[in-house]
Structure 1
Amino acid sequence: MSKQPQKILYVDDETMALKYFERLVSPLAPVLTASSVEAGKAMLAEHADEIAVLVSDQRMPGAYGNELLRYAHDNHPNIVRMLTTAYSELGEAIEAINSGHIYRYITKPWDLESLRADLKNALELAALRSERDMLLREKLMVQQQQLLAERVTQLVVACAGFVRPDHAPRVEAFLQSARVLGCRPPAIDWHSTDHADLMQAETARSIAIGTELAAWGRWFADQGSARPPLAVLDEALAGASEIHEGKLIVRDRAALVWPLEAPTAAPVTAAGTAWLAWLLWTEGSATLQPQGEGRWLVVQGALPAPESLRRDWMAAAIERIERAG
């Protein structure tokens, strides 16, 4: 778990102001300093994860402080931003507040007690934001794992409904390959998607995958048994693989895990379902062996009898995938 940011970055072109600020504020929190907008941006780039509060003087040679605060707003929104400025420049500070670029302004010359009180409030706000984001990340991780499990069950339903009744050992082979590849939960943009919309989109996605699998089944049937299965798979993967000395090497990991990992909004394509469809079609089975540099060797083998699967094979497969990811 990452630590909460606790430092204050102060940006001012006056050396004495930097030293004075650091002396006044360092008992409250560690202080970083920079002497220009560009130096402030460089400090943010290097230490953004450590910085809770950014305080910038307004009047500096070259770019003004509100430009730096705008930059931080766009690139490091969790950092609490404050502007320090002379009383005669309050109009610029108020404009920065109204535009959402700063949390508060501090007038110069500083009142020590007011300065420390404002910075203490800013640090508390930064801590609350950090805690909120940490809880949100944990929630998202749980929801992403749940979505991955739901996708496994949807694939099983799609394979049973659109393809063939003896789907279980074939789907298990696909899930085994996903475990070997370290399948990751699909990304979810919860800022633009609520749960009901996600479930509706995922259902439509599952139906589209089933439709593609059915189309693949007809295509594979047209190939007949005259062609080697690996040659058929190589053609189906459409450039994501190559055959060398009779061995099939897959170069594109995404082609092997697309049904589980792809974002909900990604269109369902034939290429994304080719590996699963081939496992459903071929009379045997296959496993993947890593070859280094993101390459995977497809190794054919015998298909286990359906009765040899554990009764809870799907739950066990989900648990293994989650651990591998």
Structure 2
Amino acid sequence: MTETQPARQTVVYVDDEELARKYFARAAGSDYEVLLAGGADEAESILRREGARVAILVTDFRMPGRHGDDLLRQVSQEFPHIVRILVTAYADNNALPGAIHSGEVFRILEKPLGVGTVREVLASATAASVLRPK
């Protein structure tokens, strides 16, 4: 007799810092399938391939090239079923309120991320993703 495990939600984590990506994957990896991207363009490529099964997008705000708020706007339009979370080390940045409104951000997390915070926010985002139409 085998127990059936519930399917793990798929999360895309976007950050230009390799250590931040590794840390996030370690913090969330046992409960979620984590796909990692080093920037907005790489995340876009992942979403083109895997977007239908992605439940949550977590992206850093400041990255070389396209910033996280640009990615959030795009994902909001093209993949409205994905719950969007913004990560930043610059919580007082004037651009953040615009990102919240235009990208329909579910939550903003401040760096450094704690394991408990990551797990708590992902659990809340998972619950919210169940309510979104696909």
TM-score, scaled relative to structure 2 = 0.87
How many angstroms apart in 2 are the aligned matches of 1:31 and 1:21? Answer: 9
Assess if the C-alpha contact under 8 Å between 2:72 and 2:105 holds in 1.
yes
Q: Is the CA contact 2:8–2:32 (under 8 Å) kept in the aligned structure 1?
A: no
Deviations 1:249-307 (Å, cap 9, x if unpaired)? xxxxxxxxxxxxxxxxxxxxxxxxxxxxxxxxxxxxxxxxxxxxxxxxxxxxxxxxxxx
| Pair 90,118 (structure 1): closer, same or farther in 2 beyond 3 Å | farther
Are 2:47 and 1:27 aligned? no
Higher strand share: 2
Q: Percent identity?
A: 37
Give yes or no for the alignment of 1:45 onto 2:45: no
Q: Does 1:116 align with 2:119?
A: yes
Cα 1:5–1:99 change in 2 (3 A) is: farther
Distance 1:45 1:82, change over 3 A: same
Q: 1:42 to 1:66 in 2, by over 3 A?
A: same
Q: Which has the larger radius of gyration?
A: 1
Instruction: Indicate which of 72, 76, 80 corresponds to 1:77.
Output: 80
Structure 1 residue ranges, 4+ long, deviating more than 2 angstroms after superposition: 87-95, 98-101
Unaligned runs of 5+ in 1: 134-325
Deviation, 1:27, is: 1.8
State which of 7, 13, 16 in structure 1 corresponds to 2:16: 13
The answer to whether the aligner puts 1:63 opposite 2:66 as a matched pair is yes
Deviates more, 1:97-106 or 1:50-59: 97-106
Aligned match of 1:236: none
Alignment: residue pair count: 128
Task: Give matches, 1:177-192, under 5 Å.
Answer: none
Deviation for aligned residue 1:121 = 0.5
Q: Distance in 2 between matches of 1:53 and 1:123?
A: 7
Cα distance, 1:85 vs structure 2: 0.2
* CA shift digits 1:120-156 (9 cap, x unpaired): 10011112225xx5xxxxxxxxxxxxxxxxxxxxxxx
1:102 to 101, 105, 111: 105
SS of residue matched to 1:49: helix
Shift of 1:119: 1.0
Q: Decide whether aligned partners of structure 1 residues 101 and 57 sit closer, same or farther in structure 2, where only a CA change above 3 A counts.
A: same
Say which structure, 1 or 2, has more relative contact order (CA 8 Å, 6+ apart): 2
